[in-house]
Chain A
């Protein structure tokens, strides 16, 4: 019986490690990201004969990841409340169109038009979900189908599309050769979000509502206001993402942000934010976004087809949610 305390201790240590990893999924995720980088590097060396991990590629990875980072930021907020926003991609596209439409009348007007469209769609979602208690999936699917209808009407009409220079700079330029302009914007947003979620009253209310809306209401939180603000912010962040995208491609089209819908949900889920709400962080989402971006490069290197990407991302969502639900379930 002398071995018992030792085994117990080891078990305790294992349990402590497990609890640490469950509480800080970012640690595991960064490991996965590094592994993925190395794997991509190996594949690239094999296929193209040159390394993938270079300063230039690293900078490109961030440049490509930033729009998704913005859109996934909004998705994180909404998913923390226990909902999901399926209109992010079309909100981003609509914002891009609005910017290009008003861009001829001045940079400020273009950007304000884009952001206003995003905020407007977000508000409609928020009012539907928060005030009328429509299921978030159905509400956001509905607004995205309305947005798509309106967009296909206006996109069909001939108008001068001017993407303001500032937007273009933000979306595609790099300072000092390696520092993407949009990374600066993303870093600022990330800092505000991470600190805001942890230290402001609104941040705490967001977690409270997601964890248990009834308890939050009984504790005096106006749940509907928290929801409206969360969805409005999601619309706004999606609009930011759309602006960065149109700054990158310089030409708005209807399919501009389509792939970002699935990827934003996948990024948040990979980042360890619970799809049931009340648990997670934006730092996890950031790593999730980078993982998806590197995975995207890897899939491109391997000549993956569009359908394979869809199946892979869809499976990631299901499998990871199952794993997270299993590990973080109370004993």
Chain B
């Protein structure tokens, strides 16, 4: 009689819901945390629900995109420190050029900018794969390069976007009370991630992130996949930069600084292991909302905004520490 490893037995014998829980437990937990925070957040606020939800969605939108970009790269086994500053580049470029544009022109220009961001990020990925320097070093260098480029495009905050373009972030979908800012994130997830996730490229991204060698031996183009992950992340980064322009209405070369760290925190909180190959984007989106809501809650409680930054910094470190400990245990 052959012995079967214990976990395989459990895997075969387990009810489907149990398997789902094991695979998606973290994602579900993050959404539950988000839901659990809602009553407390509501109890602090004086505004009506619709207004609050909209403010939250607008505040969270750039972070959502930054975190989605980071998640794609991290799942593929890398890490991108230049997301924040590339967002700033797109932000200032759009604000400088869009000032006198009509809404349609602005939309067309946005598509161009998203393409540009994807190419820029893909270029970073190409450097990484061609030179075989670790992601961290190259993206650290690119962090400074893009910061410089953003300053070059616009030295001090300024510029602007058409009113209708701003409305993409600030308004509501039709006459419903669903904020545009949340809908745009959802659409981006549906259009950019979901098809890829369920087809070969997505599988390749997970395989490469999980083990580069095994993926290579299984006949997956590792270089192609990693560059592809950076390209896709670039699309999300571009959207993030445009989200900054639409929600703030101006371009600011320093607008991206917080997003590098916060995107990593959202990724870890969202259940994506920094070791790669584990997790999905739904949890990450929830995590971005949790982080934003925790900041709003602190501000509503009358905390000095500077202290709120300190608390958030501490919270992020704790999230990364605890998340790191937990994922290490489950993986080894």
Seen from chain A, the residues whose Cβ lies within 8 Å of a Cβ on chain B are: 84, 128, 132-135, 137-139, 141-143, 145-146, 148-150, 152-153, 156, 262, 265, 275-276, 305-311, 313-315, 317-318, 321-322, 325-326
Q: Which residues of chain B have C-beta atoms less than 8 A from A262's C-beta?
A: 144
B261 and A142 form a contact (CB under 8 A): yes
- Given A142-B261, A311-B149, the answer on whether A153 and B307 have CB atoms closer than 8 Å is yes
What residue in chain A is nearest B132 (Cβ atoms)?
A: A325
User: Which of B93-101, B109-117, B135-143 is the contact stretch?
Assistant: B135-143
Binding site for A on B (CB under 8 A): 79, 81, 127, 131-134, 136-138, 140-145, 147-152, 155, 258, 260-261, 264, 274, 304, 306-307, 309-310, 313-314, 316-317, 320-321, 324-325, 328
Partner of A145, one of B143, B261, B304: B261
Report whether A318 and B127 are in contact in the complex, using a CB–CB cutoff of 8 Å. Answer: yes
Please, how many angstroms separate the alpha-carbon atoms of A310 and B140 in the complex?
12
Residues B148 and A311 in contact, CB atoms below 8 Å apart: yes
B127 cross-chain contacts in A, Cβ below 8 A: 318, 322
Q: Are A138 and B140 in contact (CB under 8 A)?
A: no
A137-B136, A146-B314, A305-B152 are known contacts. Are A313 and B324 too (CB-CB below 8 A)?
Answer: no
Hey, which chain A residues are within 8 Å of B313, CB to CB? Answer: 142-143, 145-146, 149
Residues of A with C-beta under 8 A to B149: 307, 311
B residues within 8 A CB of A326? 131
Contact A275 B137, beta carbon cutoff 8 Å: yes
Whether B261 pairs with A138 at a CB distance below 8 angstroms is: yes
Residues from chain A with a CB closer than 8 A to the CB of B136 are: 84, 137
Contact of A149 with B307 at beta-carbon distance under 8 Å, contacts A134-B324, A141-B260, A325-B132 already known: yes
| Residue ID in chain B nearest A314 by CB atoms | B144
Are A152 and B140 also in contact (CB < 8 A) when A138-B261, A143-B317 are?
no
Q: How far is the CA of A148 from the CA of B306 in the complex (A)?
A: 9
Contact A138 B264 (CB under 8 A): yes
Q: Quick check: A142 and B317 within 8 Å, CB to CB?
A: yes
Contacts of A132 in B (CB 8 A): 321, 324-325
Shortest beta-carbon distance from A126 to chain B in Å: 13
Give the residues in chain A near B133, CB-CB below 8 Å: 275, 318, 321-322, 325
Residues of B within 8 A of A149 (CB): 306-307, 309-310, 313
With A314-B143, A318-B138 known, 6 other A-B pairs at CB within 8 A are A84-B140, A135-B79, A137-B140, A141-B261, A146-B317, A153-B307
Q: How far is the CA of A146 from the CA of B147 in the complex (A)?
A: 21
**Contact call A128/B321, Cβ cutoff below 8 A:** yes
**Inter-chain contact B317/A317, CB cutoff 8 Å:** no
Shortest Cβ gap from B243 to chain A (Å): 21
Residues of A within 8 A of B147 (CB): 307, 310, 314
Contacting pair A314 B320 (CB below 8 A): no
Alpha-carbon separation in the docked complex, A308 to B145 (Å): 9
Chain B: CB-nearest residue to A326: B131
Expressed in whole angstroms, the Cα–Cα distance for A143 and B318 within the complex equals 11
Residues in A neighbouring B144, C-beta threshold 8 A: 262, 310-311, 313-314, 317
Complex Cα distance, B320 from A141, in Å, reads: 12
CB distance from A72 to the nearest CB of B (A): 16
A134 touches B317 (CB 8 A): yes
Q: Using Cβ atoms and an 8 Å threshold, which residues of chain B touch A128? A: 317, 321
Q: Which of B81, B137, B143, B151 has the most CB of A within 10 A?
A: B137
Closest B residue, CB atoms, query A153: B306
Q: Which residues of B contact A310 (CB under 8 A)?
A: 144-145, 147-148, 151
User: Given A135, A150, A305, A318, which contacts B310 in the complex, CB threshold below 8 Å?
Assistant: A150
For B328, what are the chain A residues with a Cβ–Cβ distance below 8 Å?
Answer: 133
Neighbouring B residues of A275 by C-beta, 8 Å: 133-134, 137
- Do residues B148 and A314 form an inter-chain contact, with CB atoms below 8 A? yes
Rounded to whole angstroms, the CA-CA distance of A168 and B250 in the bound complex is 42
CB pair B148 A134 closer than 8 Å: no
Tell me the smallest distance from the CB of A262 to a CB of chain B, in Å: 5
Pick the residue among B145, B264, B310, B321 that contacts A315 (CB under 8 A): B145
Q: List 6 A-B contacts (CB under 8 A).
A: A142-B320, A275-B134, A276-B134, A307-B147, A321-B137, A322-B133
